[in-house]
Copies of this chain bind each other. A is one copy, B any other.
Amino acid sequence: MKVGIIGLGLMGGSFALALKKLYKNKGEKLEIVGIDHNDQHCIEALELKIADRITDDINDLLDLDLIVLTVPVNAMLKIILELKDISEHTTVIDFGSTKELIIKAIPKEIRANFVAAHPMTGTEKFGPTAADRKLYRGKVVVLCDTEENDPKHLKLAKNLFRELGMKIFYMGAKEHDRHAAYISHMPHAVSFSLANAVMAQQNPQSILAMAGGGFKDMSRIAKSSPNMWIDVFKQNKDNLLDAVDSINNELSKFQELVKNENWEELRNWILNANKLHDIL
């Protein structure tokens, strides 16, 4: 299989390494061609054997078996237009964290080839050096609006995700974007806020010296890349603002209960939060 990966960061790099392992195990041939606007990333991707070769011309990818898009979601909107002339047999998969605007941007001619996916995984790190071939294993991938795909392209994508050990969920793009705001985009805003709340104190050093596991877990994603996340926030603005309202409401409820020393009601509120883990 010949695969083009556009964007050689954490997501693209990890996917490439996972594919390489998979194809080695299967004893089948795989060639990965990489594109990244960052020259240093290209050099690192070759060194780390993420890509077998690098190109700076997207036309080199148009006849491959598979093109994977792993760039920030606003860049995605432009790159999608450059894929208009892919071969009929080429499958495209995008890994964007938002889906509605991306799907709208897909040229009609290649809509059937284009599988819109959101793998629910990542770390706070970025760049090719952050790549980890186990990033996708055991994780969920959401596929959106698959009724618009040609079955053969959808099948290729589904088989690959399954072979990588992923669990596949299907969802409409609108529903996906709303859910993603609650499960991923708003929590990033909260983690950034938590970090900034501590940094705004007089002596963040002595506060942070006391950090235990709870704070470390909650502030981990506050290290995430502004480039990637501002794009996501732009594309999912309305759902995101709703989700932030929703956690603001809960924090205000908490403040009221503590202010009024309404401990019995606070207990019920905490017990309700505890229930999350019966579902998760």
- Chain A contact residues, CB within 8 Å of chain B: 120-123, 139-140, 142, 169, 171, 175, 179-180, 182-184, 186-201, 204-224, 226, 229-230, 233-234, 237, 240-241, 243-255, 258-259, 261, 263, 266-267, 269-277, 279-280
Contacts and interface: CB of A to CB of B under 8 A. Distances in A.
Contacts of A250: 192-194, 196-197, 200
- Number of identical monomers bound together in the oligomeric complex: 2
Nearest to A176: B210
B194 A187 contact: yes
Given A183-B207, A217-B220, A194 B279 contact: no
Nearest to A234: B263
Contacts of A226: 266-267, 270-271, 274
Q: Chain A interface mostly helix, strand, loop or mixed?
A: helix
A218 to B, nearest CB: 5
A194 B251 CA distance: 9
A184 B212 contact: yes
A207 to B, nearest CB: 5
Nearest to A219: B276
Given A244-B255, A270-B229, A275 B199 contact: yes
A264 to B, nearest CB: 9
A246 to B, nearest CB: 4
A194 B197 CA distance: 17
Nearest to A217: B217
**The 7 residue pairs across chains A and B that have the minimum distance between CB atoms:** A193-B250, A195-B273, A120-B212, A226-B270, A195-B276, A192-B273, A217-B217
A91 to B, nearest CB: 23
Contacts of A247: 190, 193-194, 197, 251
23 contacts: A120-B212, A122-B212, A140-B209, A179-B206, A182-B197, A182-B198, A183-B198, A183-B208, A184-B214, A187-B218, A190-B190, A190-B251, A193-B247, A197-B250, A198-B276, A208-B276, A211-B280, A217-B217, A222-B276, A230-B267, A241-B258, A245-B255, A248-B252
B276 A199 contact: yes
A233 B260 CA distance: 12
Contact of A218 (B218, B252, B269): B218
A222 B212 CA distance: 15
Contacts of A276: 195, 198-199, 204, 208, 219, 222-223
A213 B236 CA distance: 20
B217 A221 contact: yes
